[in-house]
Amino acid sequence: MNINIVVATEKHYQYAEEICETIYQSAIVRGTGIAKRTPEYIQKKMDQRQAILALDDSKFAGFCYIEKWQNGEFVVHSGLIVHPDYRGVGLAKKIKHFIFDYTRKKFPEAKIFGITTGLAVMKINSELGYKPVPFSELTDDPEFWNGCRTCTNFNILQSKQNKMCLCTGMLFDPKDKKKEMDNTQKNSFDKKVITQLNKIKEVLHIKSKKDFDNSQIKTI
């Protein structure tokens, strides 16, 4: 196995059909709803450099793509698929880490989210720092939610005015990451100050103990 993960381009148009078919067949096997994608749409994502492809030499092994919403305030990672021949060896994790790093570089201010029913994806997202959130924290662009119309659960989503469904929403907010880093820095600063204070206290304590001992000696 010689798997390479790349940003897909026009050179990879030939894989679009197989990607769609694999996504569709996997949804049938899982018995879950899925938003259907067309090969044309996948090719458009390749044009935009918003598609990530895993290839075993020239064989299709995995895929995921990016969509931007609300003028780039939100970015979603969708259509994650690993070909059945390559499952269970950590490929989804590699693809998700790749697309996450790529997105962070390309759109550093964007909130990154996903909606999923899959435990594997939830695990990977958590590892990357995503938090489970209600749909109200995700994009409210109706066009995004319309993408779910080919999912078998779409009527549930509609009946809840796009506020909830069977998928779990997960969000990575770069501002949370910054807060976390600030806290870590603050904590390490606090630790330094405390260590320094303890040293000073220790010296003062030894000094005052010596003074006390000396004064005791003098009075005897």
Nearer CB in complex with ligand COA: 101/183: 101
118 binds ligand COA (CB under 6 A): yes
Site string for ligand COA, 61-90 (x = CB under 6 A): -------------------xxx----xxxx
Smallest distance, Å, CB 162 to ligand COA?
A: 18
Name which of residues 27 to 46 contact ligand COA (CB under 6 A).
30
Which amino acid is located at 31 in the chain? G
**What number of H helices and E strands is found in the chain?**
7, 7
What does the alpha-carbon distance between residue 77 and residue 10 come to, in Å, rounded to a whole number? Answer: 20
What does the alpha-carbon distance between residue 163 and residue 194 come to, in Å, rounded to a whole number? Answer: 47
Nearer CB in complex with ligand COA: 124/157: 124
Place of tokens 């006390």: 212
What does the alpha-carbon distance between residue 42 and residue 141 come to, in Å, rounded to a whole number? Answer: 21
Nearer CB in complex with ligand COA: 48/117: 117
Structure tokens of 162?
A: 């796009």
108 binds ligand COA (CB under 6 A): no
Site string for ligand COA, 123-162 (x = CB under 6 A): xx--------------------------------------
Q: For 77, which DSSP code?
A: E
One of 16, 52, 92, 112 touching ligand COA (CB under 6 A): 92
Nearer CB in complex with ligand COA: 149/207: 149
User: Order of strands across the sheet with 111-116?
Assistant: 3-7, 51-56, 59-69, 74-82, 111-116, 168-172, 131-133
